[in-house]
A and B are shown apart, each in its own frame.
Chain A
Amino acid sequence: MKALRFERKPVKYAAAAVAGRVVPGRGATVGPLSLRDVDEPALPADGWVRFRPRLAGICGSDLATIDGRSSRYFEPIVSFPFVPGHEVVGELDDGSRAVLVPVLTCATRDIDPPCRSCATGAINHCQRIAFGHLEPGLQSGFCKDTGGGWSTAMVAHSSQLVPVPDDLSDEAAVLVEPTACAVHAARMLGDATTVAVIGAGTLGLLTIAALRRYATVGTLVATAKHPEQRRLAKELGADRVVAPGELGRAVRSITGAFVLGDEQLTDGVECVVDCVGSAASIAQGLQVVEPGGEVLLVGMPGHTALDLTGLWHRESAIRGCYAYDRDDFDRALSLVAESGLDRLLSATYPLDRYTEAIEHAANAGTRGAVKIAFDLRNERRR
């Protein structure tokens, strides 16, 4: 079958890191990712089925991997070679469609009794992601045994599949997985009078939509770099959308804060949802969150150097926000349908044009796009 495969090749990985720094997404041309003819993955055990991707999204974490920006933290919880792609809508042998819940939980690893987290439904906290009968992998798309969405065939455990209603298009369904991350963030946040969402890429925009649907938020201010992002952020529920460099002033104005020195605010928003995950965005989050407030990291951060004096002094908190549970996923399915989130899918590519696809995804904002995906529906080796 045809698959994009990511191999453990340190020299190529280093080359991708250099290329990716020069042009985002360029790691795909020189790095350890390549289009191959490979055998379809074997079914690991009972309960696993063949799953044929129809659309598979390109996520920020995929881009970090391809451009050599991934943290070494992931080394013990991925296994090589793997086929990326964890935002997947596909079909089963009986022709029915499903979206993939990519988190590889105790159930998928045939671990019984399940870990404490899986037992309580917190599958994103699974404590056995490198154990059981599967090779290590926090999610499908990072595990050698499961394959991934950037191919014509992968395997999925029955617990990972959520049926897609007939009236939901593939273009909408492929947005369900990232939407579930946003829903998780919204439910974690709960209620807040003022919220700032940093970043208006896919995750930022979905988070705005999820906050409006599943949290009770008063004033929501968002940052967006590009005109299309600004438009969508407004459409999806942001009260005010500002350029990244304007956030401090916007929050000051919204909260009536005073300013110390050049940019330290005396007050801030109740919660910041950081959908970027860079050192700059986290620092900005800490700048604009109120004393005692929380910065929720939804975007995947990596190595980060930060001055945490303010965090200490203002007793603010940084909290991670990874993936989702099954409730989040079900809610995401509704949100995608109700809010017409398929509009965020900007372009699709066949696997053959993967370098273009990845460069487009890495530069989506500047090109007026949001989500880029691979379209496997017309691939010959289905």
Chain B
Amino acid sequence: MPRPGFVLDVDRSTPPILFHHGEGFRLEKLPAGRSRVLYPAEPLAALDDVDAAIRETLLHPLDSDPLPALLRPGMKLTIAFDDVSLPLPPMRRPDIRQRVIEAVLDMAAAAGVDDVHLIAALALHRRMTEDELRHAVGDRVYDAFAPQGALYNHDAEDPDNLAFLGTTDQGEEVEINKRAAESDLLIYVNINIVSMDGGHKSTATGLASYRSIKHHHNVRTMQHSTSFMDRHHSELHHSNWRMGEVIKNAGVKVFQIETTINNDTFGQSGPMSVLAKREWEWTGRDRATFVAMQAGLKRMKGSTRRKIFNGWQAPYGVTSVTAGAVDPVHERTLAHCFEQHLVEVEGQTDILTLGLPYICPYNVNSVMNPILVMCLGLGYFFNMYRGRPLVREGGVLIMTHPTPWEFHPVHHPSYIDFFEQVLADTTDPIEIEQRYEKQYAEDEWYRHLYRTSYAYHGVHPFYMWYWGAHALQHLGKVIIVGGDTRAVRRLGFKSASTLNDAFEMAEDVVGRHPTITHMKNPPILMADVT
């Protein structure tokens, strides 16, 4: 029986706590008597027979006819699937998307459906490479569809392949992939790694254009999403749900297949498994493994270190597969997510500490640049709450990460310009949005790179910054420990060389002897703050 998430009150006997620190780790001693550590739940039990579970849900979907009943010869079928940003780290083969898509294709073939397209629903993310597509859908599917041009990346900037479906009652324009919109059936295959994912957001964002996405990927929406991991209190999701209604009313029939995975990020054995253990339970072997790993990482060149981390594939277990109508499917999926991720926490804290790992949704096989560090810390991790933020209003966020002034030139070209131009001028999300977003969003060069190379859309770094807008509004100070000082300063944050220095700096804002909470993530946890 896996143990649930856990809140540890730090006392004198508590050993140093492991903090992620990019492509490395730190062991940090937290002040006794006023610190606590949030530990994620152990991995939930995985489904014994995933393929059987897939077949079962396709035949008995929620609020929908069974999938075979929706399939007929001569129909136009489109299967959209989540892109390379999910899951993190990538999962070992076979990817759950592959298993679901193969099952769907088997049923489609049995029904005589031969007009099938598969589309990576990447919104404004970079295109997936052939290797990444093969990993997601499997070689058999790739080889059957890609050579004929029936398996491809969504292009949010292709005017000939976008369909305008209407506007919501709040004036939000809905424009999605034309093939998907004009299909007799759109099947969306997702991986709900966190509660932000899935639901109507899958189609309304994943297959949408900039014209459409800008209505919810903006500062106002993000500041009113408290948090964007809690769909019922998230303006981001409200907007997507309104768009989902427009999509439905436009006659687009969506058959949603959502999946959840457990917290088995680092495996139960092997060198990485120590990262998922609670420190006081480390064996002598675990300690030796960790010390050896640290020593080895320190000796390696940065590029080697990155290659090793990027090469890690997690042995996740699949915990649920649910198909049918979007709303009931998503509610059930959220329940599975919360079962794995939620940890009850009593009260807020003065200082929240986070150890930021090497990966976030936008640097798979890439570089974790400073903007992504901000997004991971103030966007994703800060918003890992339900109820209230873990840290009180005006409190301090301390993150550990090397934050190098480094960018992937192919994946993140507009990020470089954003960092050099926009952040050199202002870090205020509202000012950034008003003064700069349009220029970057409409830049023909960025558009060209997004469409033909492997670049994130020109506007994407803005969204990364907006993702942290709620946290920026809420926090009194942000400190990065062990980061490149120039890069940290450019982000508008304070730089500290040690965690203790950071605590001292934080006292200027929160006073002496503040309470401290460390959220140990990954594996993923979400604080249910009362």
Contact = CB atoms under 8 A, between A and B. Distances in A.
Interface stretch (B92-100, B108-116, B416-424): B416-424
A253 interface: yes
Interface in B163-220: none
Nearest to B444: A256
Tell me which of A249, A253, A257, A258 has the highest count of chain B C-beta atoms within 10 A of its own C-beta.
A253
Contact of B445 (A242, A243, A250, A257): A257
Contact of B421 (A240, A258, A259): A240
B420 A256 contact: no
Nearest to A246: B420
Contacts of B420: 242-243, 246, 249-250
Nearest to A253: B417
A258 B416 contact: no
Contacts, number: 26
A252 interface: yes
Interface in A247-292: 249-250, 252-253, 256-259
Interface residues of A, number: 12
A259 B445 contact: yes
Nearest to A259: B445
Nearest to A249: B417
A256 B445 contact: yes
Given A240-B421, A242-B420, A246-B420, A253 B443 contact: yes
A256 B443 contact: yes
Interface string A138-173: 000000000000000000000000000000000000
Contacts of B444: 256, 258
B448 interface: yes
A240 B439 CA distance: 15
Contacts of A246: 420
Contacts of A256: 443-445
Contacts of B448: 258
A79 B424 CA distance: 49
A354 to B, nearest CB: 36
A126 to B, nearest CB: 44
Nearest to B443: A256
Interface in B438-474: 439, 443-445, 448
B486 to A, nearest CB: 11
Contacts of B439: 253
B: interface residue count bin? 10 to 19
Nearest to B458: A253
A202 to B, nearest CB: 24
A23 to B, nearest CB: 25
Interface in A295-316: none
Nearest to A240: B421
Nearest to B442: A256
A259 B409 CA distance: 12
A250 B422 CA distance: 11
Nearest to B414: A253
Contacts of A259: 445
A249 B416 contact: yes
Contacts of A250: 417, 420-421
Contacts of B424: 242
B280 to A, nearest CB: 48
A158 to B, nearest CB: 50
Nearest to A242: B420
A250 B417 CA distance: 7
Contacts of B421: 240, 242, 250, 253
Nearest to A252: B445
Contacts of A242: 420-421, 424
Interface in A10-44: none
A258 B445 contact: yes
Interface in B420-441: 420-421, 424, 439
Nearest to B436: A253
A258 B417 CA distance: 14
B466 to A, nearest CB: 20
A166 B30 CA distance: 68
A120 to B, nearest CB: 44
B440 to A, nearest CB: 8
Nearest to B425: A240
A250 B443 CA distance: 13
Contacts of B417: 249-250, 252-253
Contacts of A253: 417, 421, 439, 443
A242 B445 CA distance: 20
A257 B445 CA distance: 7
Tell me which of B416, B420, B443, B444 has the highest count of chain A C-beta atoms within 10 A of its own C-beta.
B420
Interface string B346-384: 000000000000000000000000000000000000000
Contacts of A258: 444-445, 448
B55 to A, nearest CB: 49
B308 to A, nearest CB: 28
Contacts of B443: 253, 256
Contacts of A252: 417, 445
A358 to B, nearest CB: 31
A253 B417 CA distance: 8
A168 to B, nearest CB: 35
A259 B439 CA distance: 17
Tell me which of B416, B421, B439, B443 has the highest count of chain A C-beta atoms within 10 A of its own C-beta.
B421
A204 B328 CA distance: 65
A59 B439 CA distance: 40
A230 to B, nearest CB: 9
Interface in B241-280: none
A246 B417 CA distance: 9
B325 to A, nearest CB: 44
A263 to B, nearest CB: 11
A263 B445 CA distance: 13
B416 to A, nearest CB: 6
B267 to A, nearest CB: 40
A249 B448 CA distance: 16
A257 B448 CA distance: 11
Nearest to A230: B424
A246 B416 CA distance: 9
Interface in A117-141: none
B426 to A, nearest CB: 13
A32 B31 CA distance: 65
A54 B421 CA distance: 43
A249 B444 CA distance: 14
A239 B416 CA distance: 19
Nearest to A257: B445
A242 B417 CA distance: 11
Nearest to B439: A253
Nearest to B418: A253
A253 B445 CA distance: 9
A276 B448 CA distance: 34
A375 B230 CA distance: 69
A206 B448 CA distance: 38
Contacts of B445: 252, 256-259
A256 to B, nearest CB: 6
A256 B448 CA distance: 11
Interface in B394-421: 416-417, 420-421
A258 B420 CA distance: 18
Nearest to B409: A262
A325 B417 CA distance: 41
B407 to A, nearest CB: 11
Given A252-B417, A258-B445, 10 more contacts: A242-B420, A242-B424, A249-B417, A249-B420, A253-B417, A253-B443, A256-B444, A258-B444, A258-B448, A259-B445
Interface of A: 240, 242-243, 246, 249-250, 252-253, 256-259
Interface of B: 416-417, 420-421, 424, 439, 443-445, 448
Q: Which 10 A-B pairs have the closest CB atoms?
A: A246-B420, A258-B445, A253-B417, A249-B417, A256-B444, A256-B443, A249-B416, A249-B420, A258-B448, A242-B420
19 contacts: A240-B421, A242-B420, A243-B420, A249-B416, A249-B417, A249-B420, A250-B417, A250-B420, A250-B421, A252-B417, A252-B445, A253-B421, A253-B443, A256-B443, A256-B444, A256-B445, A258-B444, A258-B445, A259-B445
